Amino acid sequence: MTVSSVQSGKKPSWLKVKLPTHDNFFYVSHLLKNKNLNTICQSAKCPNIAECWSHKTATFLILGDTCTRGCSFCAVKKGSPVPLSSQEPKKTAEAIVAMGLRYAVITSVTRDDLPDGGAEHFAQTLEAVGKKAPEVKREVLIPDFQGNDAALQRVLAANPDVVNHNIEVPENIYPLINRPLINYRRSLQVLKRSKELGASTKSGLMIGLGEQREDILRTLSDLRGVSCDLLTIGQYLQPTKQNAPVQRYYTPEEFKDLQELALKLGFKAVVSGPLVRSSYRAHALFENLTTKAE
């Protein structure tokens, strides 16, 4: 697998995205603003926001908009969070109904300031969606809850259809993005424990921060070692000048190669591409999983 070199100040052509023009985009934007809800689409400066919102899909960001950790790859606001909003679970459920979603993805900032990491709030949001729209499939993209097993169990007790927890990058890249090495093994344990508790599991990997091919393959092997079902692989893009710089741009062909390798390792479904993010086309990935289970 070859890699392309970084072009200073210029992204490759395959990373260009269209500006939003569809009415649905502005409908979603207004709805979220009206209900004072956050999305990871906005907070993380996702390149797919125009495509997803135009199709009336969004990844809801709960527990506020401020993360207590300082990972250098992430554009989400960092600092001291505000108190939780008791209305957030209800408003999230209402927005999901208003958008007519059949598949909802709910994620959060990391809240190490809370004793349970926000697990109870996560569970209440899942339960609110289940009560308001029982036909909607629910995927959660959770933090590691600092390894708190009771917190993880509380979220899974709300019966999400998919439990997603991103490994983010290969283990050797963790120190380069301001993440303790111990967090890599903790993330694998979150996925392992979720599987033991009966969940369908999913993870996401970013590449382009200086890893080598063997680092990627080792990460894929580690994820399969904890029986992770679903996988997304995407190109890291520097969201602001304050974030870690891109070291490599991988070509679409290279992403296809990684997808084929991951499937051979035993993942049930894989989405791999330059603009892929952990919630990108989540419904299609879930459908692939359920089809294989039949």
Q: Distance between CA 198 and CA 196 in Å, rounded?
A: 5
Quick one: pLDDT at residue 60? Answer: 85
Is 122 inside any structural domain? yes
Is 127 inside any structural domain? yes
**How many domains does one find in the chain?**
2
Is 213 inside any structural domain? yes
| HSE toward the beta carbon, residue 87, CA cutoff 13 A | 7
pTM, entire model? 0.87
Render pLDDT for 89-144 as a digit per residue (tens, 0 to 9).
999 999 888 888 888 889 999 999 999 999 999 999 999 999 999 999 999 999 99
Is 68 inside any structural domain? yes
Looking at the predicted structure, is the pLDDT value of residue 287 above 90? Answer: no
Q: Which of 10-14, 70-74, 267-271, 289-293 has the lowest mean pLDDT?
A: 289-293
Confidence of residue 8 (pLDDT cuts 50, 70, 90): very low
Structural domain that includes position 65: 18-160
Quickly tell me which residue has 């689409």 as its tokens.
41
* Residue 47 sits in the same domain as residue 142: yes
Is residue 208 within 8 A of residue 248, CB to CB? The reply is yes
* Residue 141 sits in the same domain as residue 174: no
Is 78 inside any structural domain? yes
Confidence of residue 6 (pLDDT cuts 50, 70, 90): very low
* Residue 89 sits in the same domain as residue 169: no
* Residue 95 sits in the same domain as residue 128: yes
Is 10 inside any structural domain? no
* Residue 154 sits in the same domain as residue 191: no
Confidence of residue 286 (pLDDT cuts 50, 70, 90): confident
Which among 199, 91, 78, 198 has a CA at the least distance from the CA of 142?
199
Q: Distance between CA 35 and CA 43 in Å, rounded?
A: 16
- Examine the fold and report which residue of 125, 160, 195 is the final residue of a domain before the chain moves on: 160
* Residue 128 sits in the same domain as residue 254: no
* Residue 61 sits in the same domain as residue 182: no
Confidence of residue 75 (pLDDT cuts 50, 70, 90): confident
Looking at the predicted structure, is the pLDDT value of residue 259 above 80? Answer: yes
CATH of the domain at 278: 3.30.750.200
Q: Please tell me what DSSP assigns to residue 19.
A: P
Quick one: pLDDT at residue 156? Answer: 98
Render pLDDT for 198-240 as a digit per residue (tens, 0 to 9).
999 999 999 999 999 999 999 999 999 999 999 999 999 888 8
